[in-house]
Amino acid sequence: MSPDSPPRRASGTIHVFTFKEGLLAGAAHDLRLRFERFTCELDGSAVEVTIELGSLRVDGPVRAGVVRPDEYDGRRRAEIERAAQREVLRADRFPTAEFTAQATARAGGLDVRGTLTLAGGAASVAFPMTVAGATYQAAFELKPSRWGIPPYSALLGTIRVQDRVRIEIVVAELTA
Q: Are 82 and 91 in contact (CB under 8 A)?
A: no
- Please give the pLDDT value at position 26: 53
pLDDT digits (tens, 9 = 90+) for 77-99: 999 999 899 989 999 999 999 99
Rounded to whole angstroms, the Cα distance separating 71 from 47 reads: 37
Domain membership of residue 23 (yes or no) is yes
- Please give the pLDDT value at position 1: 36
- Please give the pLDDT value at position 118: 96
Determine which helix (DSSP H) or strand (DSSP E) holds 11, and give its type and residue range.
strand 8-21
pLDDT digits (tens, 9 = 90+) for 37-82: 999 988 888 999 999 999 999 999 998 889 999 999 999 999 999 9
Domain membership of residue 1 (yes or no) is no
- What is the Cα Rg of the chain in Å? 17
Domain membership of residue 4 (yes or no) is no
| Tally of structural domains, the chain | 1
Q: HSE (CB half, 13 Å, CA atoms) of 87?
A: 12
Domain membership of residue 6 (yes or no) is no
pLDDT category of residue 6 using cuts at 50, 70 and 90: low
Read off the amino acid at residue 104: T
* Average pLDDT score over the chain: 87
Rounded to whole angstroms, the Cα distance separating 96 from 64 reads: 32
Domain membership of residue 127 (yes or no) is yes
Domain membership of residue 108 (yes or no) is yes
Q: Are 56 and 85 in contact (CB under 8 A)?
A: yes
pLDDT digits (tens, 9 = 90+) for 127-164: 999 999 889 999 999 999 999 998 876 654 556 788 99
Domain membership of residue 112 (yes or no) is yes
Domain membership of residue 7 (yes or no) is no
Mapped onto helix, strand or coil, the DSSP state of residue 174 is coil
What CATH number should be reported for the domain holding residue 65? 2.40.128.110
Q: How far, CA to CA in Å, does 98 sit from each of 82, 101, 161, 166, 172?
A: 21, 10, 23, 18, 19
- Please give the pLDDT value at position 159: 66
pLDDT digits (tens, 9 = 90+) for 13-40: 999 999 987 554 455 688 999 999 999 9
**Domain carrying residue 24:** 12-173
